[in-house]
Structure 1
Amino acid sequence: MPAALCRISTAAAIVLAAAACSGAATDDSGDAVGPSADGRATCVPLAEFENGDVANAPVQDVAFPWDRPDPVVLEGFDFSRVISGGPPPDGIRPIDDPCFDDVATADEWLQPQSPVMVVEVGDDRRAYPLAILTQHEIVNDVVGGEPLVVTYCPLCNSGLAFERTVDGQVLDFGTSGRLFQANLVMYDRQSKTLWTQFTGKAVVGEAFVGTELVRVPTSLLAWEDFRTAVPDGVVLSPDSEPGRDYGRNPYTGYEDSGDQFLFEGDRDDRLPPNTRVVGLGADGDPTAVVLDHLREETVVDVEVDGQPVTIWWAPGQASALDRETVDGGREVGSTVAFVRDLDDGMQLTFTPLDEVAGTFRDEQTGSTWNLLGEAIDGELAGTKLDPVSRDDTFWFVWFAFQPDTVVVSRS
């Protein structure tokens, strides 16, 4: 079948696309009815999505900053604190040609508690299992037609996504093998500029130093929450890089070790270093909500950057950094954050629905909301809250990048 006929325009059509592009049989409705020759449904390559095949900018023939005699460094940035994490550039290999499964196929290997990173651009909603991201850290993707770099730093538990079009050029990113404040340092392959994952800022390199990538809000959720809320969503497939042992956690016990691996930053004794926090307001009003406090309250309202924000917690998600397997970690739950104001000026307040975990009710209209900020029942059904960029991370790294942060806790 010609490749052009395999293009798909919506996530809901992924099953049909997989069948058409792999030669699997379909019934009269066009739905796939059989697996591929090896007994497993075929994942759909990024290039088969509408606008998914985006040409990257040309690569320049330049050396990495640490091999240059006088690299350009962002004013105030301490380049000496960029240290080797062990592997060489791309020794932790990014996924450059992602392939996607539908929810039913992903459900064959993911568990209800499996942690996944959720990225949304328009109607295109994707889940990236941390079982995969832990071993690759970077996915160069195109979501909703927007070129993105989807990133996860296991040492910080920071799952962040950024637009990767800079000055009209589509950059593609790799892992530099370096760390800054125990955080992943990325590089773009076009100019070998170094970028910190936690801020998305170019810190060393002639081409883009000082530039900050545009952040796209993300969430770390339990697989059960994503598959329930987005039954027609797509999921990063293990077949993107076949043959990997994606269930294994290479950072067993890291979360409780109290020893911040390769961390050389300043410390703050308001909280133990590995305390999990929800960090918000990184652009000017940094706030850290202690996870244990949020877990106890379930809903915490704060004001960040002049906006009224509601933060929710729901049970279910396992820690990816605790036990020998990613799915076997202790429960840490899921957090999300949204602006409480609607477009018509109504400001909402929320309480959890005890009878259905991961759902919330607004006190103004009685409508029911899911963890993606969608009203799924009631007067406001079909309404969607605006997501707020936030980070589920550890106190030591949040403070290292946001030393002026306010702490919201039980005390």
Structure 2
Amino acid sequence: MLILLFYCLSLIALAIGTASIFMALIEAFPEKCLYYHFFIRRPINWSIFLGLIIWSCILFAQQNEFPIWSIPPLILSGMALILTYKMDQNKAFPALFFPKIAEDAEKLPLKDDMEMAVIEYNGLTKCYPLDYVMHHHIINDKFNDKIVALTYCAMCRSIIPFDVTEIGPLFVGSFKNANMIVADKRTKTFFQQASFKSIIGKLHPYELSMIPFQILSWAEVKATIEKPAVVAVSEKDFRDFELPIAGLWKKIVASESTPGLSAKNRDKTFPARTHVIGITAASIEQQPVYLKKEVLAKKIVENNELDFVLVAAGKTVNAFNNRWNNQRLALSVEGKKIIDQKSNSCWNIRGKYISGEIQQDLSPISISDEYWFSWIKFHPKSKIIRL
């Protein structure tokens, strides 16, 4: 009976040690299970492991002979304890906190076609290579007296910077519906990254505040920003992205598989990893969405009903308000410049003023360049606009 108890406890520990993975991948488990598991997994598994060791020592003291039968369950509980730490989303994708900015960005191992998240906020402009951000999923950085958390869910390619000044830095809490769950360091409240909304925790209900940003190639950054501030990176920061199981990531992205979101609950209007451009600006409630390849082909796409324009540059898309002084602009793309045909005003591809009558920058609109399956899952009322 005692042997059975030892094995039962070790198997319970093993289930707890791996639960952060299978609960994230099986939709039947609610997010609350992941939340409470986050707090109890280590104390329980440490208690089981130490309890079995102490129990074995007591039996040895009583019988003057070590119970050999206790070794397998001890090993199992020890493995469970290791897995409790190893199978932690926060360990697999460690968030960065206030990284160093390179003294000379030109000396960094950057290629012209590398995509970068460019955040201009609170008087500062900083650039982050996406191939670098992908390994961490979250980069927390200071923009003078503001704190911004740049989040990047690799599974659904949702890249979203949040102003987290009020709640503090974020880290990867878990994973659900093929999208990461982020949490704040101070209260450990869980938030669904793609929807911005809290799930459970001390701050619930609470909604994260997205800030506008742009995705540009390194070549476009150099052409539009004098002495760009880029996070310090090295060659090893651009290693191929991998999940804890080698080779698994390439198989996933080459398929229609969306771990954590079953095929029956996935919208199949388009292939799962179709790139789309969704409007996330809070001022635009309809949140329309476009196929990215169609926007790239058109170069510039006006939405006169909602007063914004999409501008394609290379392989990237950004959005701007297309009104000035209650007048609609007639924007076009000519080379690497945006031109208003009415006023002959000119801006660079970032919307920064160059010349002409309208002597101010274009106003950016928040968008998300992500996969179709994720966008429509978290924005079910979104209207697809075909060009």
1:183, 1:134 → 2: CA distance? 13
Q: 2:322 aligns with which of 315, 340, 343?
A: 340
Looking at structure 2, the residues matched to 238 and 152 of structure 1 have their Cα atoms a distance apart, in angstroms, of 17
Matches for 1:319-398 after TM superposition, within 5 Å? 333-342=315-324, 344-353=325-334, 356=335, 358-380=336-358, 382-398=359-375
Q: Alpha carbons of 1:374 and 1:255: their partners in 2 closer, same or farther (altered >3 Å)?
A: farther
1:189 counterpart residue number: 185
Classify the secondary structure of the residue corresponding to 2:90.
Answer: coil
Counterparts of 2:341 and 2:268, CA distance in 1: 38
What's the CA shift for 1:349?
Answer: 1.9
With normalisation by structure 2, the TM-score equals 0.72
* Displacement after TM superposition at 1:282 (Å): 6.3
* Residues 278, 367 of structure 2: 8 Å contact kept: yes
Counterparts of residues 12-411 of structure 1 (less than 5 Å)? 64-66=35-37, 86-102=87-103, 104-106=104-106, 108-166=108-166, 170-176=167-173, 178-205=174-201, 207-238=202-233, 244-250=236-242, 251-252=249-250, 255-264=253-262, 266-281=265-280, 283=282, 284-302=285-303, 307-315=306-314, 333-342=315-324, 344-353=325-334, 356=335, 358-380=336-358, 382-410=359-387
Alpha-carbon shift at residue 100 of structure 1 (Å): 0.4
**Preserved CA contact (<8 Å) 1:124 1:233:** no
**Residue in 1 that maps onto 2:57:** none
Identity among equivalent pairs (%): 21
Q: Distance in 2 between matches of 1:146 and 1:297?
A: 37
Work out the CA distance in 1 between the residues paired with 2:177 and 2:337.
36
Contact 1:282–1:402 under 8 Å retained in 2: no
Residue 107 of structure 1 deviates from its aligned partner by 5.1
**CA RMSD between the two structures:** 2.5
Cα deviation 1:114-173 (Å, max 9, x = unaligned): 01111111431111111210111111111143111111111111111111133xxx4121
Tell me how many residue pairs correspond in the alignment: 301
Q: What is the rounded CA distance, in whole Å, between the counterparts of 1:204 and 1:134 in structure 2?
A: 25
Distance 1:348 1:282, change over 3 A: closer
Partner-residue secondary structure (3-state), 2:361: coil
Greater fraction helix? 2
Shift in Å, 1:105: 2.7
- Unpaired segments of 5 or more residues in structure 1? 1-62, 70-84, 316-332
Once residues 345 and 107 of structure 1 are traced to their aligned partners in structure 2, the CA distance between those partners, rounded to angstroms, is 45
Change (3 A) 1:96 1:281: closer
Name the aligned partner's letter for residue 141 of structure 2.
D
Contact 2:299 2:311 (8 Å CA) reproduced: yes
Larger Rg: 2
Aligned to 2:82: none
Counterpart residue identity of residue 224, structure 2:
A
| Separation of aligned partners in 2, 1:67 and 1:334 | 37
Tell whether the 8 Å contact from 1:65 to 1:192 is kept in structure 2 after alignment: no
1:232, distance to aligned residue in structure 2 (A): 2.8
Q: In structure 1, give the amino acid aligned to 2:316.
A: S
Q: How far apart, in 1, do the equivalents of 2:105 and 2:259 lie?
A: 36
> For residues 302 and 87 of structure 1, what CA distance do their matches in structure 2 show?
43
Unaligned runs of 5+ in 2: 1-33, 41-85, 243-248
